[in-house]
Structure 1
Amino acid sequence: MIQSRDRRAGFTLVELLVVIAIIGILVGLLLPAVQAAREAARRMSCSNNFKQIGLGLHNYHSTYKNLPMNAGGTYNTGSGGDFNNSHWLSWMVGTLPFIEQQGLWDQISNPFGFNRDGSRKTPPFAAMGPRPWNENYQPWLTQVPSYRCPSDPTQPVSNRVAFNNYSACIGDAIFEQQHGGVNDQGVPSTSGTWGDEAGQRWARGVFRARHFTKFRDIKDGLSNTIMCGENVVGDRTNLAKGTLIVRQNDVWDLPPNQGVQFMDPERPQYVNTDTSIGGLPPCTGCCGSGMGPNPCFDQSANHQRGRRWSDGRPMFSVFTTITPPNSYNMQRWHGGGGVLCASSFHQGGAHVLMADGAVIFITDSIESGDQGHVPYGRDNGDGRGANGGAGRESPYGLWGALGTKASAETIQEQLNQ
């Protein structure tokens, strides 16, 4: 009698390898979709942050009948940086109680008697805090979640002023707009060129430094005017949209397309840090001599875009509708005005907050007009002189028109579709 053997069912080595290979291929196909889904979720969260900020700004306006001041706060009385903030607080400080940050606002708006390490400070910091770059003042070091975009990976260390990804729009003219013609003691300048009254014509955006804006001032319509926009935090990798190219007076005497020559030809999204461009000697510091047409790249950790949420100086808290989103930034010097682009780590563009509270995604390819036009406030060589641009439509196309509040431009596109 022949005995039969039971055969065990199982995979051969070849079959197992084939299955593993198929799983690997499927994972490889699925991973980009998972990454895209994660970024879509982060982009949605960023949009929700902006909607909350927009609602907070509208509630602020309902309460005080104006928008919060950028570069505001307490005047420089000569009593020292711990007892006033030199009129440099950003618009985000005043917005705090309207975005459910009442606890942080209470710390700032009252005398604060502690050092960063928790020890007692005598006398305490004055109400409304010290200068916004003071790294011993814990409220400035406190990160406000609503002011950060989840797609931006750059994080502050514990001893630095916390970051922000949302900036106020100052429009398409930059001449002397960093201080609005008012000094840090609150005294308006009477200069007929750049003083308080003279500079008002170049304050073409919703926000103007050291001045309040009301919704009634936005004559082009709340739904047609940008109030705020995204900005990346400079990560010190020379990424152009987060790096500051210092150009001294050339930033407003020359057209914005001057910045193209300073991009790295091998990596167009990065600046070329070879400061011997054109065979000229390198610059000797952030604002030093020997710059000529060379750029100087401000490498200080504290001088990058978006690195101080409490600071109302331009590179930290505002942007311009001159160069397209995600392009490059040029400033006159540290703390000075300049061409500051909207930017984000979202693919293809950045969010903006319209004055009516709507959040819209603007692509990098938005029509941005004549990038060879010198910014208004300086002589463009067209025979009109330095004052010839006052009251005129923006030279920077649809992008520039969206940034101006009262230039009578006609917006013919449905931006929210």
Structure 2
Amino acid sequence: MRQTSRSRTGFTLVELLVVIAIIGVLVGLLLPAVQAAREAARRMSCSNNFKQIGLAIHNYHAAYDQLPEQGTGTASNTGGHHTNPRASGGGNSFNRLSFLVGITPFIEQQALWEQISNPYVTTTGVYQAMGPLPSCSVANMQANPYIPWMTNIAAYRCPSDPGQGLPSLGRSNYAACMGDATHSCSRENDAYEDANGNSNSTRASYSNAAARGAFVYRKSLKFRDILDGLANTMMCGEIISDLGDNDKRSHIWTRGGRTAAQWNTGGVLRCRGAIDAARPNFWNPAATGVGNLFASSEEVRGNKWMCGIVLYTGFHSILAPNSELCIHGNQHEEAVVSTSSRHQGGTHVLMGDGAVKFITDSIDAGNSNSAQVTVHNYLPAGSKSPFGLWGELGTRAAKEVLSGDF
């Protein structure tokens, strides 16, 4: 008897399921590695952007014998000099432009600089160079656009930060180091004048004592002013831009009022009770007894690269990287704002010598609830930073010997 054999023409269902399972396991194993490799590439690109900014700062100093100013532009005595300027969101005073504006010619943005530094014609008229510009609110920019302030510059963006579009204007992920104290850091220095053009030496003394970083608001510095050494002093730090998700690192929690020595009970940590226990990187909008979530969608971190106030393009070396933002009532002066990033475990900082370092969230930040160094009933001027190694890196001339590795 002849036996017939039947050839197989395909996989059985069980075999197919086994193959699919194996493929799924391999994808599950490989995907994190691919994502990690992509993030490593983005992190390297972010570091390279910072190196370019550092090189631009050095080239600026070589060209003009000073550092680019944080808080510069066209001046006006109309209105208090600590109010919002037209170059950053309302008010009648100027001198609010960030150091990022000044270095645009040194990062291959000469064409953009030409628009900024020359009269600019909009749909409603001609605005003088560097100001007076229209109020830099989103609504005003949509009605009467000033293109330079709405431009996103690739060199000022970290590839790991996904923020795009309104309500932000031109975003930035890099900010100036304003030191280890907040009192008057975004207000007056020894060149301060009030609305009537009169000098205010009292407020100037506050700022001179408190402004201990590589950048001082509305004051030009030189490398020779960084007495602690360029390699030991932070010039800039990384920040995230706001995504509208109540992230504690990019959205403001405000707690009004402050005592003579510290801000309310709890000092600089007084907003910490508003952090969502279930999501520790975010605010709890329903939190009570510790102030309020600042409602403005425009007054958030990293959303106006042209504006020199600390919220938008500055940071303090007080709380460790990726800590919460806390402000006493407005964004102009008493603001605790640190560095932040979308990278895992820390942030990049740019040292004065041009080196880019990655600072971990666990860096020694000393006594985070300490009073700050000012002459306004806080720690005496010239005191050693109370904020550990992080504070020491943020001061330019406190005669500190670094207390650890970073």
TM-score, with length taken from structure 1: 0.86
Q: Distance in 2 between matches of 1:21 and 1:102?
A: 55
Runs of 4+ aligned residues of structure 1 deviating over 3 Å after TM superposition are 1-6, 77-82, 183-189
Q: Distance in 2 between matches of 1:389 and 1:271?
A: 34
Q: CA deviation at 1:245?
A: 1.5
Preserved CA contact (<8 Å) 1:168 1:317: yes
Distance 1:387 1:24, change over 3 A: closer
Given the alignment of the two structures, is residue 239 of structure 1 paired with residue 247 of structure 2, yes or no? yes
SS of 1:353 mapped into structure 2: strand
Task: State the match for 1:154 in structure 2.
Answer: 163
Structure-to-structure mapping, 1:168-247, within 5 angstroms: 168-181=176-189, 182-183=192-193, 189-192=199-202, 194-195=203-204, 197-247=205-255
Given the alignment of the two structures, is residue 253 of structure 1 paired with residue 263 of structure 2, yes or no? yes
Q: CA deviation at 1:409?
A: 1.0
Equivalent of residue 407 in structure 1, options 394, 398, 405: 398
Task: State the match for 2:22 in structure 1.
Answer: 22
Cα deviation digits, residues 296-347 of structure 1 (max 9, x gap): 2112111111111111112101000000100111123333221101101100
Q: Distance in 1 between matches of 2:210 and 2:330?
A: 21
Preserved CA contact (<8 Å) 1:148 1:163: yes
Cα deviation digits, residues 366-411 of structure 1 (max 9, x gap): 00001121222277xxxxxx15421011000000000000111111
Q: Distance in 2 between matches of 1:327 and 1:109?
A: 36
Structure 2 gap ranges (5+): 80-84
Structure-to-structure mapping, 1:282-321, within 5 angstroms: 294-321=290-317
Cα deviation digits, residues 195-233 of structure 1 (max 9, x gap): 2x4421211101111101110010000000001001111
**Which 10-residue stretch deviates more, 403-412 or 267-276?**
267-276
Distance 1:297 1:103, change over 3 A: same
Task: State the match for 2:343 in structure 1.
Answer: 346
Equivalent of residue 265 in structure 1, options 256, 262, 277: 277
Preserved CA contact (<8 Å) 1:86 1:131: no
Q: Distance in 1 between matches of 2:29 and 2:240?
A: 30
Distance 1:408 1:206, change over 3 A: same
Aligned residues: 384
Distance 1:224 1:191, change over 3 A: same
Distance 1:349 1:184, change over 3 A: farther
Q: Distance in 1 between matches of 2:193 and 2:19?
A: 72
Preserved CA contact (<8 Å) 1:235 1:304: no
Q: Distance in 2 between matches of 1:142 and 1:260?
A: 34
Q: Distance in 2 between matches of 1:245 and 1:183?
A: 30
Structure-to-structure mapping, 1:115-126, within 5 angstroms: 115=123, 121-122=124-125, 124-126=126-128
**Which 10-residue stretch deviates more, 176-185 or 61-70?**
176-185
Residue identity matched to 1:361: F
Equivalent of residue 130 in structure 2, options 128, 131, 134: 128
Preserved CA contact (<8 Å) 2:300 2:311: yes
SS of 1:321 mapped into structure 2: coil
Given the alignment of the two structures, is residue 373 of structure 1 paired with residue 370 of structure 2, yes or no? yes
Distance 1:392 1:219, change over 3 A: same
Identity of aligned residues (%): 44
Q: CA deviation at 1:110?
A: 0.6
Task: State the match for 2:387 in structure 1.
Answer: 396
Q: CA deviation at 1:10?
A: 3.7
Distance 1:148 1:233, change over 3 A: same
Q: Distance in 2 between matches of 1:18 and 1:97?
A: 60
Q: CA deviation at 1:176?
A: 1.0
Task: State the match for 2:11 in structure 1.
Answer: 11
Equivalent of residue 324 in structure 2, options 328, 341, 362: 328
Cα deviation digits, residues 47-94 of structure 1 (max 9, x gap): 011010000001001111111111110012659959x86111111110
Residue identity matched to 1:46: C
Distance 1:179 1:222, change over 3 A: same
RMSD: 2.5
TM-score, with length taken from structure 2: 0.88
Preserved CA contact (<8 Å) 1:236 1:299: no
Cα deviation digits, residues 14-51 of structure 1 (max 9, x gap): 11111111001111111111111111111111101101
Q: Distance in 2 between matches of 1:185 and 1:218?
A: 32
